[in-house]
Amino acid sequence: MTKKSAILFILLLIPANAPAQEQKPADTLVIALRNDLMPLSFLSVDGQPAGFLVDMWKLWAEKTGRKIGFRIEAWDDTLESLKNGKADIHGALFYSQEREKFMAFSRPFYEFSMCVFFPKHDEKIHNISELKGQKTGITGGTAQEEFLRKNYPDIEFIPFKRVEDMIYAAREGKIRAFLSTPASVLTILSQTGLAGGFDSTNETIFARKLHAGVLKQNQELLALVNKGFEAISDRELAEIESRWILDPAKRYFTSEISRVKLTAEEETWIKNHPSVSLGIATVLPPFSFNGENNAPAGMAMDYAELLGRRTGISLQVTRTESPEKMISLLKAKEVDGIAFFASFPQSEKYLLFTESYLSMPWVVITRSDYPFVRDIEDLTGKKIAVFKSGTIWQVIHNYPNIEVIPVNTREDVLEMVSLGTADAALMNIASAGHYTSKLGLGNLKVAGIFSEKLEAGLGIRKDWPELVSILNKAIEAITPEEHGVIQKKWMSLHYETGIDWRTVLRWITVICLIFLSVLITALIWNRRLAREIVERRRSEEELKKNRDYLEILNNSLADAVFTVGFPGRIIVYVNDRITKLFGYLPYECIGRNICMLYPSEEEYLKVGEKIVKTLAEGKNALDIEQVMKKKNGELFLAEIRVTFMTEGNNISSLISIIRDISERKRAENALKESEDQFRAMFENHYAVMLLID
């Protein structure tokens, strides 16, 4: 065979599609995306790239005028394609220090989080901590796997390549549960017809930003990627996301997020100051701190991002190791403002303040066996540990009868209470939850709510009143749902108890906190403490308004909890149990009349008459059994307790707590029927029965 013939023979053996797979036009940017991330990126039934991320990158191409192509492949292959040059851009991944060795990251454009999914026929799982010692599925080789193994070492994690594989493994009992992103799992469950067979926890795990990635040396391409993202509006992204994620509650973007209306002068100011530097202290978790992979994180970061999107201002973050350093940078005008700041009189000399975007109570932390604390007077003569550099230090001096112990760190504050060297501690509820969880102090509880609140906003340099006006408009535009998403993400103080719910509901009412009824945490007391509360309440004619409310984390109850306006009976708050009990998502109920949950308008009006009658009798609560209606039209018997909330002499709202008692009633009826049959047999039997005691 000649040399030319041999070469021709070898070429004929190469698959015809090989060059098409490996080669790309010089003027086309190839973007690598995962093939198993429905509905974000995957291959459609006809083999074409599809999903939210695909459509987002197509819009990016329109904005930049560049041609693009896609490599939709397995996760590990996407990284390899970027390394070997088969792809120019990785279309969506998390930041990590390991990847930063060879990759440069774009500005973030999306956010993921995970929750636990489990088969409905198994015992319900409330949070990830209940999976200790059990086999739990995760996607292998990802940043999520690294995070979960590090933070939950007691869980036996089993890696899988695809979400579908985890679903079938859980269904077959090979694993107890699995973790993944809700949008992806729900899409796959719907397509496979298994949506009715799985449930999930109501928690946010591993909430992280998505970036694009390029090779580290390709800074010019990185600048182009960022330029394209800056040209895409949130409204455009919301429109794309709505096509792929049908449930608004599962979306990251909402179409309502838009620029606030500004005056011509304010628009001119932004044009002249398109970028503003905000300082954050990295020692204030969960408000501002160095998070996963040393990236800035916390409530303040999320609020700053939201305010930036509302105003169009690029809010750049400058990190400092202490609040004192941050203030010195502001005085020197090395930063333009402070992202998280609670004002005090001395600060007015060098700062202007926005309206507060965060309001939460100071709480009293005690050991679990400590009595209920009704108000600050109960702490007279007690040793109270307080962080000496915090805002609470300014507040506590208004109460000279309390013996205050200044403490250097927040960790030491809680440890002193845990060890008994202090009777109680005062701390805001978010910090208390963070440090209690971090230190694993299981013998502490929230024993009471302080009358003062932590009010935090932004501090802005004195010569920029225009920026304060702009930010105030953006803060005012934040919706209760947006507040709820951010606070739920970072709040970690949760309490569960097994005491009888009737006892709890008899003595404990609900407080709605943080902007339009966002419930934050729970205070559930044992029977002995409940009796003590009763005795004290009987000795008083009326409690002050701030003594009337005790907060409760209603998701720890097995019942639906409603806050209903009065007299209109419009729903202003529901807990997550509404979905389990009635089939509605919370957003489907808020703003609607509670009549939607009754089988007829007549039944709704009858309950209204009972409420009016109970009020006329001077009672403060109503207990009834009532037939209710689910979203699918199914009727069920419920036990309802309605508590009347007052402002002055007027009823302001109703707190309704609803429990399904259908199963209990069926059991009672079956027992009664059995007793009746036995009694009939006994009375009609011809023989005489003599019972001797």
- Residue where a domain stops, chosen among 446, 476, 493: 493
Tell me: do 215 and 291 sit in the same domain: no
Distance (Å) of CA 346 to CA 352, 393, 430: 12, 14, 25
Do the domain assignments include residue 14? Answer: no
What total number of domains does the chain contain? 3
Residues 545, 489, single domain; the answer is no
When the pLDDT of each residue in the chain is averaged and rounded to a whole number, the result is: 79
Mean predicted confidence (pLDDT) in 43-51: 86
Q: Which residues contact 330 (CB under 8 A, 6 or more apart)?
A: 279, 336, 337, 338, 350, 351, 459, 461
Checking if the pLDDT of 263 tops 50, the result is yes
Residue predicted with more confidence, 236 or 543: 236
Residue 257 belongs to some domain of the structure: no
In this structure, are 479 and 520 located in the same domain?
Answer: no
Percentage of the chain with pLDDT > 90?
A: 26
Pick from 47-51, 83-87, 486-490, 544-548: least confident: 544-548
Confidence class for position 514, pLDDT limits 50, 70, 90: very low
Q: Note the pLDDT tens digit of each residue in 103-158.
A: 999 988 888 788 999 999 888 898 888 899 999 999 988 888 888 898 889 999 99
Q: Is residue 309 scored above 70 in pLDDT?
A: yes
Tokens of 549: 């409310």
Average pLDDT over residues 315-343: 87
CATH code, 154 = 3.40.190.10
Residue 98: the pLDDT is 84
CA distance 359 to 552: 17
Find the length of the chain. 693
Same domain, residue pair 556 and 690: yes
Higher pLDDT, 352 or 680: 352
Q: Which segment, 347-356, 412-421, 423-432, is predicted with the most confidence on average?
A: 412-421
Residue 9 has pLDDT above 70, yes or no: no
In this prediction, residue 23 carries a pLDDT of 55
Q: Is 390 within 8 Å of 342 (Cβ atoms)? A: no
Q: Which among 17-31, 64-78, 632-646 has the top mean pLDDT?
A: 64-78
On whether residue 552 sits in a domain, the answer given is yes
Whether 226 and 269 map to the same domain: the answer is no
Same domain? For 533 and 548 the reply is: yes
- Does residue 23 sit within a domain? no
Q: What is the pLDDT of residue 497?
A: 31
Where does a domain end: 231, 251, 271? 251
Choosing from 469, 493, 517, the residue where a domain stops is 493
| Same domain (yes/no): 351, 500 | no
Q: At 253, list the tokens.
A: 């973007």
Q: Are residues 235 and 341 in the same domain?
A: no
Q: Is 15 a member of any domain?
A: no
Does residue 453 sit in the same domain as residue 331? yes
- Whether 20 is in a domain gets the answer no
Alpha carbon distance 441, 419 (integer Å): 10
Q: What's the whole-number mean pLDDT along residues 174-200?
A: 87
Domain CATH for 534: 3.30.450.20
Among 32-36, 470-474, 617-621, the minimum mean pLDDT is found in 617-621
The predicted-structure confidence for 449-495, as pLDDT tens digits, reads as follows 877 788 899 999 999 999 999 999 999 888 887 888 888 778 754 43
For 353, the domain range is 263-493
**Range of lowest pLDDT (284-288, 423-427, 438-442):** 438-442
* pLDDT bucket at 531, cuts 50 / 70 / 90: low
Across the range 242-249, mean pLDDT stands at 80
pLDDT band, very low/low/confident/very high, at 499 (cuts 50, 70, 90): very low
Instruction: Report the interhelical angle of 182-192 vs 163-171 (nearest 10°).
Output: 60
pLDDT in the model for residue 537 = 54
Assigned token pair, 416: 């002193």
Residues 220 and 302 in one domain: no
Q: Is 594 a member of any domain?
A: yes
C-alpha torsion 302→304→310→311, nearest 10 = -170
Please tell me whether residues 354 and 429 are part of one structural domain. yes
Please check the confidence at residue 276 and state whether its pLDDT lies above 60.
yes
**Residue, of 292 and 403, whose pLDDT is higher:** 403
Angle between helices 429-439 and 480-490 (to 10 degrees): 30
127, part of any domain: yes
* pLDDT band at 692; cut points 50, 70, 90: very low
Same domain, 371 and 479: yes
